[in-house]
Amino acid sequence: MSRILIATGIILIVIGLLWGLLGKIGLGRLPGDIVIERENFRLYIPVTSAILVSVVASVLLTILRMFLGR
């Protein structure tokens, strides 16, 4: 269990460091992300981006479990 938590932390650190690069390639502005703009109001709900990040994280954690022997 502790190995999974450490691996998750490392993955989150790497994503945080690469966040600027991910923004440049379009993550955060994908089709399906909801943007509501009014005069003095802006609401942004990254639905598609959240699903994509979730799928990638699930795949990475599955691969890590295979290599860690679980």
Q: Where are the domains of the chain?
A: 2-68
- 10-14-16-20 Cα dihedral, nearest 10 degrees: 180
Rounded Cα distance, 51 and 35, in Å: 16
Q: What is the pTM of this model?
A: 0.60
pLDDT over 80 (residue 10): yes
CB 47 within 8 A of CB 32: yes
Percent of the chain scoring above 90 in pLDDT: 14
Confidence of residue 44 (pLDDT cuts 50, 70, 90): confident
Mean pLDDT of the chain: 83
pLDDT over 90 (residue 38): yes
Alpha-carbon torsion (25, 56, 52, 6), positive or negative:
negative
Give the model's pLDDT for residue 61.
83
Residues 6+ apart with CB under 8 A from 33: 44, 45, 46, 47, 48, 49
